[in-house]
């Protein structure tokens, strides 16, 4: 009985937990509830993934209104992959919040953070699971509005302006998206994504459809921080509380990439993207610019959180590069990197939060000689940094390897060269941390030794462990990604 309603539970559990945390007021109870809600979502996501792998896509009619009239929740290989990533990261990050939030936030605001945390997770899960274009917009706004609040909760007053700028750009992005959906709705008379795709075939070169494509791509590019539209991201990641940075960096932009892929391949199809409009070429150009520019900018940063924020912009470039190739291997690489970059950045920002727990801030000067006072944390950041570079034996290597192979297979040898060359720039910015932490004399005054809360250390190391684990065992990531890519390309033909 309850198993039939798993798709609804996935979203409803964190959504109901959100107001409950607000009513219960006590931060510790709110924290326990948040952790429990995320864990339940994770279990449900795993059950759904097993179910989809065994029996194919699941369609769930909300309120028993049959699609395409009612809202449909649709779980297929790709969306179940996203659900596992989002709920998994949330489950790891939520326990971490307890101590980190207590030190980083003013009293009384802790409870609010948990409320927003639950809402944000519910929104992101909803975006991944829904098969309805307008429902997707509503979930996107739930996730966005709560993440604006989460960022504004940062201790530094600059967090407020960062949040405001993100609110402006994020709302413009969401509105562009909804304009695109509106044009598609006028054209097809339906909001169900699968139904929309069916009706568009044959007349997909219409001007309204082309305009809709442009609006949706620009809107989602703002949300996923594609290169010239990434301006909100560095400040938002730098000034948000550590917990929030880890959650958003690992999930929010990734879900936006997922939405872009859905519309690209499921709704519009390859004919429109390659023959009618040069979408793939534009995306490829922007991706390369993102990778090169953002990597170079990252090298010159003086704050570690900002450094890794720019690195995120570059890594998103690798993901969109895979999408721009438009082949099965390219898409596989994109989806694998979505996952691997999520866990790598999650690990990095959690460990940086641990550094901030001791030093208060994260400028590079504050981590000088850190290897002596915090050897394990330093080692963890180095490991995650290696995964960012793509050193063999780490998750990052698997995705870069898949991407380079995809480039070769598409006869774009030079692209493979760019991927390898830009990985060397990543070496440069990771080296800045390594140099400061291992080779410099300790900062004066050296960080005050405090207790090491297990609730912060364990989640961070789970993600570092995942970076290594998925560097060796690719059976889950690459195979699931390949299934998802095959499905997308079948729909796109």
The HSE-up count of residue 357 (CA atoms within 13 Å, CB side) is 27
| Neighbour count for residue 288 (Cβ, 10 Å) | 20
CA torsion sign for 205, 206, 207, 211 is: negative
Distance of closest approach, residue 178 Cβ to another protein, in angstroms: 6
Nearest alpha-carbon partner for 264 in 226, 290, 228, 232: 226
Nearer to another protein, 50 or 186 (CB): 186
Q: 401 CB contacts (<8 Å, ≥6 apart)?
A: 390
Cα–Cα distance for residue pair 116/101, rounded to 1 Å: 13
Distance of closest approach, residue 191 Cβ to another protein, in angstroms: 8
Nearer to another protein, 55 or 108 (CB): 108
Nearer to another protein, 233 or 403 (CB): 233
Cα–Cα distance for residue pair 228/290, rounded to 1 Å: 8
Cα–Cα distance for residue pair 69/466, rounded to 1 Å: 41
Nearest alpha-carbon partner for 430 in 310, 251, 334, 350: 310
Distance of closest approach, residue 202 Cβ to another protein, in angstroms: 22
| Neighbour count for residue 465 (Cβ, 10 Å) | 14
Helix 77-104 to helix 454-472 angle, to the nearest 10 degrees? 150
Whether residue 179 contacts residue 198, with contact meaning beta carbons closer than 8 Å, is answered with no
Cα–Cα distance for residue pair 297/310, rounded to 1 Å: 7
Helix 375-389 to helix 413-434 angle, to the nearest 10 degrees? 170
Distance of closest approach, residue 169 Cβ to another protein, in angstroms: 9
Whether residue 102 contacts residue 27, with contact meaning beta carbons closer than 8 Å, is answered with yes
SS3 91: helix
Nearer to another protein, 191 or 425 (CB): 191
Nearer to another protein, 306 or 482 (CB): 306
Nearer to another protein, 178 or 426 (CB): 178
DSSP category for residue 363: B
Nearer to another protein, 44 or 116 (CB): 116
Nearer to another protein, 61 or 138 (CB): 138
Please give the span between the terminal C-alpha atoms of the chain, in angstroms, as a whole number.
37
Distance of closest approach, residue 179 Cβ to another protein, in angstroms: 6
Nearer to another protein, 325 or 364 (CB): 364
Supply φ then ψ for residue 75, to 5 degrees: -110, 110
Distance of closest approach, residue 321 Cβ to another protein, in angstroms: 29
Distance of closest approach, residue 147 Cβ to another protein, in angstroms: 11
What's the alpha-carbon Rg for the chain, to the nearest Å?
21
Distance of closest approach, residue 54 Cβ to another protein, in angstroms: 35
Distance of closest approach, residue 56 Cβ to another protein, in angstroms: 30
Nearest alpha-carbon partner for 87 in 39, 130, 120: 39
Site for another protein, rule CB under 8 A: 134, 137-138, 141, 145, 148-149, 152, 157-158, 160-161, 163-164, 167-168, 171-172, 175, 178-179, 182, 185-186, 191
Nearer to another protein, 120 or 430 (CB): 120
Distance of closest approach, residue 199 Cβ to another protein, in angstroms: 15
């Amino acid at each position: 009985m309850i198993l039939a309603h798993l798709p609804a539970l996935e979203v409803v559990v964190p959504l109901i937990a959100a107001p409950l945390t607000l009513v219960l007021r006590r931060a510790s109870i709110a924290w326990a509830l948040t952790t429990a809600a995320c864990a339940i979502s994770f279990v449900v996501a795993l059950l759904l993934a097993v179910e989809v792998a065994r029996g194919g896509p699941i369609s769930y009619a909300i309120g028993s209104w049959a699609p395409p009239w009612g809202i449909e929740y649709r779980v297929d290989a790709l969306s179940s992959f996203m659900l596992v990533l989002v709920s998994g990261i949330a489950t790891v990050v939520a326990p971490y919040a307890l101590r980190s939030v207590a030190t980083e936030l003013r009293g009384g605001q802790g409870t609010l953070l948990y409320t927003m945390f639950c809402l944000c997770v519910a929104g992101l899960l909803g975006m991944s699971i829904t098969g309805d274009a307008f429902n997707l917009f509503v979930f996107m706004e739930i996730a966005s509005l709560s993440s604006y609040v989460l960022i504004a909760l940062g201790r530094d007053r600059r967090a407020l302006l960062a949040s405001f700028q993100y609110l402006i750009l994020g709302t413009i992005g969401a509105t562009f998206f909804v304009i695109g959906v509106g044009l598609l709705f006028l054209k097809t008379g339906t909001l169900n994504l699968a139904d929309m795709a069916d009706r568009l075939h044959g007349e997909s070169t219409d001007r309204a459809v082309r305009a809709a494509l442009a609006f949706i791509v620009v809107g989602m590019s703002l949300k996923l921080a594609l290169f010239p539209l990434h301006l909100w991201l560095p400040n938002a990641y730098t000034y948000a509380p550590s917990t929030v940075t880890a959650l958003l960096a690992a999930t929010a932009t990734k879900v936006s990439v997922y939405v872009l892929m859905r519309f690209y391949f499921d709704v519009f199809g390859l004919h429109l993207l390659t023959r009618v409009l040069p979408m793939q070429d534009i995306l490829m150009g922007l991706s390369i610019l993102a990778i090169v520019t953002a990597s170079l900018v990252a090298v010159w940063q003086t704050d570690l959180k900002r450094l890794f924020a720019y690195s995120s912009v570059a890594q998103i470039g690798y993901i969109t590069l895979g999408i721009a190739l438009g082949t099965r291997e390219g898409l596989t690489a994109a989806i694998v990197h979505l996952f691997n970059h999520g866990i790598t950045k999650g690990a990095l920002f959690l460990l940086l939060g641990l550094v901030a727990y001791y030093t208060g801030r994260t400028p590079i000067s504050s981590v000088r000689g850190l290897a002596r006072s915090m050897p394990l944390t330093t080692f963890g950041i180095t490991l995650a940094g290696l995964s960012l570079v793509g050193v063999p034996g780490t998750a990052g290597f698997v995705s870069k390897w898949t991407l380079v192979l995809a480039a070769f297979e598409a006869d774009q040898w030079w692209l493979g060269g760019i991927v390898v060359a830009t990985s060397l720039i990543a070496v440069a910015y990771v080296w800045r941390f390594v140099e400061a932490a291992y080779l410099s004399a300790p900062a004066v005054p050296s960080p005050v030794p405090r207790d090491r809360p297990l609730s912060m250390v364990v989640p961070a190391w789970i993600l570092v462990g995942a970076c290594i684990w998925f560097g060796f065992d690719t059976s889950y990531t690459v195979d699931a990604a390949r299934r998802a890519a095959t499905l997308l390309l079948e729909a796109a033909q």
